[in-house]
Structure 1
Amino acid sequence: MYVLGAGTLVAAALAVLVAQVGFAVPAVLNGLFQQDLGPTSSQLTWISDAFIVPVALLELTFGVLGDLFGRKRLLVGGALVLAIGEGVAVLTPGAGSSTGTRVLVLWIGQIIAGIGAAALFPTSLAMVAAGTHTASARARAIAVWAAALATGGLISSVLGGLMTRIGFGTDPSASWRWAFVAVLILALASAAISLAMAQNSAAPEGRSLDWPGQVTVAVALFALLFAVIQAPTSGWGSGQVVAGFIVAALFLALFIWAERRSPAPLLRLDFFTHRVFAVNAVVTVVGMFAFVGTAYVTSIRLTAIQGFTPLKASVAFVFLGGLTLVQMPLTSRLLERYNPKWVLGGGFALIGAGDLWLAAVPATNLSLAAIVAPLVIAGIGFALAVSSVTAVAVNAMPNHLAGMASGTTNMLRDLGFGLGPAVIGAVALSQAAAQISRTVAGSASLRGALAGFTASAAHAPAAQRPALEAAVGAVQSGPLGANAVPATVPVPGGHVVPFNPLKDVAFHALSHAYSIGYVICAVAALAAALLAVVGVGGRAHETQTDPRTLTEQEAAS
């Protein structure tokens, strides 16, 4: 019988930590991405989601592959693929290339890195779950895994902030590449430690690759995320956005049809006949949507709206994601001694309370101190919730289904992670763009100033024209671009002259819009808390380890 050893736990914890660093590091770099690459709002959102989409799409498949061929090789291989992706991102061309080319290279790097992380997230959790055979042992091991996950988020913010202080060529905005170099090194270290210390495990019984299921769920999730992310740029009623939602619904139906007929399904739909697992699945998606939405709004507020440096912004993420490691002993004891629904519900309730507080602090308040307390409250809530949501899902299933249960849980969590920035960004940017349009329409003087600014590049000297064209393009790209171009610029003699007439308008529109984003996150978190308390049953110390099928499990209970 496979039993989790210390070396395997260390390797699994480091693997999920590195995967989470890769996922979270762009959060403190959004401001530099905006300055260096000049992306549109949807392009900026896709920089993060280019990583998370393959994670959400492929986690179930990697869960199966680990069960079939051994989890250790996936732990090593996933880390190496992640390192390759980070290396591609570092090679993003400089300012001599077009914005489209530069963003595309960064996307490709993020996609490759996301594929590597898709192997690490479910494999690391499956190694922990399959090797623990009592409630107390599993609670402690999952608390370590969850603490490593959250610590990855903490390390990513500090690492990103510190690494960007190192110059990368002559352009100070290009220093974000050093953060990707650091993740590359961590990924190589994870691969080496997994190779040396991890014990292999597998559970091939009744498992095989389900290609119809993989293809249909991949198309459904990608179409959904594409439609949500593209909506602020193309419009919610545009043909491609509507088509995206239709394709998502169609392929979701095809996925369910395929899974019901598959002898070895990618996702056992009968999992969702188990009430605890089914309720926890909804709580996972909604709750993780709320938390990562909170992190996304905080990132955009601090870096892209208020213009904080990555290092200064990282302080906020220390409070938001750095408490899980400190709370690990407490969280583990709570999961052992009390019904997990109270820990889970309490965690999401704290996230909701922190979000409501954050929504009340306008972006015009440039002090970090104003948001420390609500970030701490949300961070404590996440520390409780992330361990609880994982423990409830994995404990609900028998041990021989740990790979599929962990893969499903990770997919649901990362679906929430992917939807958080996508939905919140779509709603906030649509609100901000609408407010800017209303303000411009209602002010003749602003319309005139904007027309003069837009035409300025055509009348500028040849040496100044490229910079002016870039500034005009940024303002026209959307609210974040309009906020990134300064309202005034210095001229010879020490004077300043008006430049971007939309700067102040965009700043206040974004401040209001992203406050709405916090409110949406709060509603989602509180809904997840209520659902957890009402719908998640179970008792402390309850772990499903003996039954071989769900039918036998239900009969035994």
Structure 2
Amino acid sequence: MSDNAPPARPGAHRALVVWTLLITGAATFMASLDNLVVTTALPVIRDDLGGDLADLEWIVNGYTLPFACLLLLGAALGDRFGRRRIFGIGVALFTLSSAAAALAGSPGALIAARAAQGAGAAILLPLSLTLISAAVPPARRGAAFGIWGAVNGLAIASGPLVGGAITEHLTWQWIFWLNIPIGIALLPLVHSRLVESRGPNNRLDLIGAALASGGLFGIVLSIVRGHEHGWTSGPVLAGFAVGAVLLVAFVLWELRTPRPMLPMRFFRSRSFAAINVASLLMYLGMFGSIFLLTQFLQLIQGYSPMEAGLRMLPWTAMPMVVAPLAGALSDRVGGRPIVATGLALMAAGLGWFALLAEPDVSYASQVPAFVICGIGMAMFFAPTGAMVMGTVSPEEEGIASGVNNALREVGGALGVAVLASVFASQGGYETPRRFTDGLVPALWIGVAALLAATVAILFTTNARRPGPEPDSPLAKEPPRTPVTTTA
């Protein structure tokens, strides 16, 4: 399909949309699930492989570190060499590294395999949004991104349940083995059912990619090592300093190169900047809180991994129900009020947890907080894809998606590191009371991050890139994106 190709038959175009959503949704589900799928398995992995709190953090952050650092590069590679082709490479890398994680016999081997998984996810996740955008007419992209958001949110939130069920009834290694058949099934579908597309920039900005990846690596590495080595220690401060210098050099380079990897003019848009700040803060509050709450249910309240996952179901089930509705509603009213409400609800839910967190608190009193957090998370995930894409031109959507996802992962790594640091400074694992002494202030940090994200999203506008009305003939035609495509 190219810009000058005749419109495809409506039935063929509907099939393209369905296949695109199914394939990208399945790949995204794998990648997002593995963000937090190990959280309920961490106590079992610690007993099996050994390790301390720092090792447990690295099993989680070993995934998010390359994920955050390579997202911009993954999007740029797709624009240059073909989004379908690079997406397929990402699926293959993720599948192979999942097998390596399942075979790991030490914490170090598991962390290394998780890092390779993160690299694969960094390739496939931003390209999933651009593949959807290329297949879906503009007037229906809000609903399509709502489905994508539901899948993404469900995967992240259901990670503790899936990990707990597998750990209890099989072994923790099956958390990773289950990715293998999914990845193998997806690979031929990627090449037979998706349409190839490229961005307008036919040259890869290698200098920009190296500066951005190196800068993000220095910053995120120092974030995840801050608790282990101390926030004012030499290695941590050096990582922050080197990362900051490289990111400044990246900005200066992008301002002067004729074909930038990330056009700096994106950040002149108040909406683009605000959405990305809100995404970083939301992931900070959510990831760090889930990391601690799943351990609270197991270590303090005595639930097995599966029981802990089931008790989080009021949280994890909400995205599946709410996100598609919120995505469709965003097509009508815009994303800002929906996302702001969702962030405020998440802050309220975490605040509820912080107020009642006691070693002997009943599960029934926690259910409303789980439900509120789940609804809020679904309302955040559903419209944000469309909001990010609506701030840039169609041919630049890959890079915009990469920026947003990179900042989300930086926020996730920051959340685990900061909230774990607050937890360790105020409490510990010695007794149930010590655990809750650390949990409560850490949760309040999460609440503060979510409230700050709520404020940030209010600086966006509801302006959306214009498209045809849903009932017009144009809305039923194939998308006309200004990219070079081949069947």
**TM-score of the two chains, using structure 2 as the length reference:** 0.88
| Contact 1:320/1:376 (8 A) holds in 2 | yes
1:295 match: 290
| Contact 2:323/2:381 (8 A) holds in 1 | no
Residue 148 of structure 1 deviates from its aligned partner by: 1.3
| Contact 2:71/2:122 (8 A) holds in 1 | yes
Is 1:233–2:237 an aligned residue pair? no
| Contact 2:346/2:374 (8 A) holds in 1 | yes
Residue 287 of structure 1 deviates from its aligned partner by: 1.8
Cα distance in structure 2, aligned partners of 1:73 and 1:160: 30
Is 1:526–2:451 an aligned residue pair? yes
Residue 51 of structure 1 deviates from its aligned partner by: 0.8
| Contact 1:64/1:207 (8 A) holds in 2 | no
Q: How does 1:258-273 map to 2 (within 5 A)?
A: 258-273=253-268
Cα distance in structure 1, aligned partners of 2:237 and 2:134: 42
3-state SS in 1 of match to 2:260: coil
Residue 293 of structure 1 deviates from its aligned partner by: 2.4
Residue 304 of structure 1 deviates from its aligned partner by: 4.6
Distance 1:304 1:421, change over 3 A: farther
Cα distance in structure 1, aligned partners of 2:133 and 2:213: 26
2:124 match: 120
1:161-194 alpha-carbon deviations (Å, 9 max, x no partner): 2222345xxxxxxx21121111233332333432
Cα distance in structure 1, aligned partners of 2:31 and 2:410: 15
1:84 match: 96
2:474 match: none
1:37 match: 49
3-state SS in 1 of match to 2:315: helix
Distance 1:365 1:190, change over 3 A: farther
- Counting aligned pairs with the same residue, the percent is 27
One-letter amino acid of the structure 2 residue matched with residue 80 of structure 1: A
Cα distance in structure 2, aligned partners of 1:304 and 1:216: 42
One-letter amino acid of the structure 2 residue matched with residue 527 of structure 1: A
One-letter amino acid of the structure 2 residue matched with residue 213 of structure 1: G
| Contact 2:73/2:213 (8 A) holds in 1 | no
3-state SS in 2 of match to 1:260: helix
Distance 1:110 1:547, change over 3 A: closer
Unaligned runs of 5+ in 1: 94-101, 168-174, 433-478, 484-502, 549-557
Distance 1:236 1:86, change over 3 A: same
2:441 match: 516
3-state SS in 1 of match to 2:37: helix
Distance 1:542 1:300, change over 3 A: farther
Cα distance in structure 2, aligned partners of 1:401 and 1:332: 22
Cα distance in structure 2, aligned partners of 1:134 and 1:196: 24
Cα distance in structure 1, aligned partners of 2:242 and 2:445: 26
3-state SS in 2 of match to 1:277: helix
Cα distance in structure 2, aligned partners of 1:154 and 1:291: 10
Cα distance in structure 1, aligned partners of 2:121 and 2:69: 11
Residue 427 of structure 1 deviates from its aligned partner by: 2.2
| Contact 2:168/2:304 (8 A) holds in 1 | no
Residue 119 of structure 1 deviates from its aligned partner by: 1.3
| Contact 1:335/1:540 (8 A) holds in 2 | no
Q: Which of 197, 200, 209 is the matching residue for 1:201?
A: 197
| Contact 2:29/2:151 (8 A) holds in 1 | yes
2:460 match: 536
3-state SS in 2 of match to 1:206: coil
Is 1:107–2:111 an aligned residue pair? yes
Q: Which of 406, 425, 428 is the matching residue for 1:430?
A: 425
2:344 match: 349
Residue 143 of structure 1 deviates from its aligned partner by: 0.7
1:52-111 alpha-carbon deviations (Å, 9 max, x no partner): 111111111111111122222223221221111111111122xxxxxxxx1110011101
Distance 1:366 1:177, change over 3 A: farther
| Contact 1:280/1:532 (8 A) holds in 2 | yes
| Contact 1:347/1:380 (8 A) holds in 2 | yes
Is 1:191–2:187 an aligned residue pair? yes
Q: Which of 243, 255, 276 is the matching residue for 1:281?
A: 276
Distance 1:371 1:186, change over 3 A: farther
Residue 295 of structure 1 deviates from its aligned partner by: 1.8
Larger Rg: 1
| Contact 1:356/1:522 (8 A) holds in 2 | yes
| Contact 2:143/2:327 (8 A) holds in 1 | yes
One-letter amino acid of the structure 1 residue matched with residue 179 of structure 2: V
Unaligned runs of 5+ in 2: 4-12, 469-478, 483-487
Residue 540 of structure 1 deviates from its aligned partner by: 6.5
Q: How does 1:332-343 map to 2 (within 5 A)?
A: 332-343=327-338
| Contact 2:149/2:383 (8 A) holds in 1 | no
One-letter amino acid of the structure 2 residue matched with residue 105 of structure 1: A
